[in-house]
Amino acid sequence: MVTLKVNGKPIEVNAALDTPLLWLLRDYLQLTATKFGCGAGHCGVCSVMVNDTLVRSCTVTLSSLDNAEVVTLEGLESDPVVSLITAAWIAEQVPQCGYCAPGMIMATTALLRRTPHPNDIEIDNAITNLCRCGSYPRVRKAIHRAAAAAP
């Protein structure tokens, strides 16, 4: 039995300890904003926060999550930074297929919390998520827009 918090709610999980956090979120908790892309930590569509650190949830297993605090995009609905980011994503019309958007927004949230006004190099280094549709130029613009809108 592993005890953790997901989006502020205490959860007790009885599942195989090698179960990745991604599948705990998707199949046990029905939190489907976090996507499955590669299962190997390459693409970032499964990005979430664990103890305020950005992680790729397909590579984090339940065994390492006892007492952890997990936050997914669903848990950030009223977060002020995330609100600015989603507004910027809409203003710049970033997504195409949109499958990478939740992970990109999580990665951007982590970046802007740490570096409220990132330059292009800081954006390059922080946003390593893959977007097959090629929305990258708009991702960059939207990050600058969100940063500029921050108080």
State both tokens at 69: 């605090």
Contacts with other proteins, 38-67, as mask; x by CB under 8 A: xxx-xx-x----------------------
Is residue 50 within 8 A of residue 7, CB to CB? The reply is no
Residue 138: which residues within 8 A CB-CB, separation 6 or more? 92, 93, 94
Rounded Cα distance, 133 and 67, in Å: 37
If one asks whether residue 77 binds other proteins (CB under 8 A), the answer comes out as yes
Closest distance of CB 151 from other proteins, Å: 21
Nearer of residues 46 and 68 to other proteins, judged by Cβ? 46
Question: Quick check: 8 binds other proteins (CB under 8 A)?
Answer: no
Neighbouring-strand partners of residue 20 = 61
Complex with other proteins: residue 62 or 68, whichever CB lies closer: 62
Q: Compare residues 2 and 101 and give the one whose CB is closer to other proteins.
A: 101
